[in-house]
Amino acid sequence: MIKVAFYDTKEYDRASFEKLGNEEISYKFLDTKLNIDTADLAAGCDAVCVFVNDAVDGAVIDRLYALGIRMIALRCAGYNNVDVKHAYGKIHVTHVPAYSPYAVAEHAAALLLTSVRRIHKAYNRTRDFNFSLNGLTGFDFHGKTAGIIGTGKIGRIFIDICRGFGMHVIAYDKFPVPDSDIEYVSLDELFTRSDIISLHCPLTDETRHMIDASAIEKMKKGVVIVNTSRGALIDAEALLDGIKARKVGAACLDVYEEEADVFFEDRSGHILNDEILSRLISMPNVIVTSHQAFLTEEALENIAETTVQNILSCFHNDGICDNELCYRCGDIEACKKARKQRCF
């Protein structure tokens, strides 16, 4: 029996994994997030299962290793919260690279539509029997230019959605999709030409704060910025300044740079100490959802299935797992593509 400490458990997590079931895996469901203070809760387990806001840094990895943990199973695609380099040679790390790209792309479109057509404001008004249209004027998507940063599976699905609205699409990606019909441009050109900018790239040292004061200065007046990827892609303070200066017309955020202690929890009875987030939420042209883009029945089912398969592959099948994140050759993504044996 493979024993797994399941951190940051929510009701929908437990339901999807219990529904799937597996006689070879025993879960220890924990409400708390993984950090150096909670690592010892995994004592007696073989693996830990973590999510986007669990802090899996070098100190946590060393403690888990000392406890006998041999695998970290991420139940998400992003792995910026895990020190994969430090884990090499100690603990195997896996992720779920594609659980439902449609879920995230569709949520980005939902945020965009809601913001531009003022759906959220109209909903609140009509519940009070206020049927005035004043202040609800939006704009057509048709003919506008959408700039997509990141053309992985999610980015390409969002491109298809934008094209369905009759939008012209340009894109930036450090690694363009070969032989595609996507019009790739430089990042600066994307900033200057786009009416709407949507982020669909991973968070790395290179992409951190790619949307900063300098980037916003290059953008069109009234630009709409959508982020369903990782919060730290955007300098939140620079975004707030851009909104206050009327340069940014609207922001649709499913992620936030300092979300770890706020998102996924009910904070309605508390004073929010994060002043930047409080001010963003108070802006009439900002929509914030709490890292909800992935949350569909299909995505939860796929996450559970892939995570379980990752765990079984690491402890069986000679330990080879296609979804392992490895640092043996110094390039995590290259290792994934060329894997023919266990990383260590």
- DSSP for residue 174: S
Identify whether 23 is a catalytic site residue. Answer: no
How far is residue 299 CA from its own chain's centroid?
13
Q: Which residues pair with 224 in a beta bridge?
A: 196, 250
Q: Name the active-site residue from 86, 230, 257, 324.
A: 230
How far is residue 344 CA from its own chain's centroid?
28
Return all residues near 153 (Cβ < 8 A) that are at least 6 apart.
98, 101
Identify whether 127 is a catalytic site residue. Answer: no
Identify whether 208 is a catalytic site residue. Answer: no
Q: Name the active-site residue from 259, 267, 333, 342.
A: 259
Q: Name the active-site residue from 291, 298, 316, 324.
A: 291
Structure tokens belonging to residue 52: 């986007």
* 26: helix, strand or coil: strand
Determine the residue type at 117: R
Helical segments of 21-83, H only: 58-66
Sign of CA dihedral 194, 197, 203, 205: positive
Contact criterion met (CB below 8 Å) for 77 and 101: no
Determine the residue type at 15: A
Q: Phi-psi region for residue 124, left (φ > 0), alpha (ψ -120 to 50) or beta?
A: alpha
Active site residues: 230, 259, 291
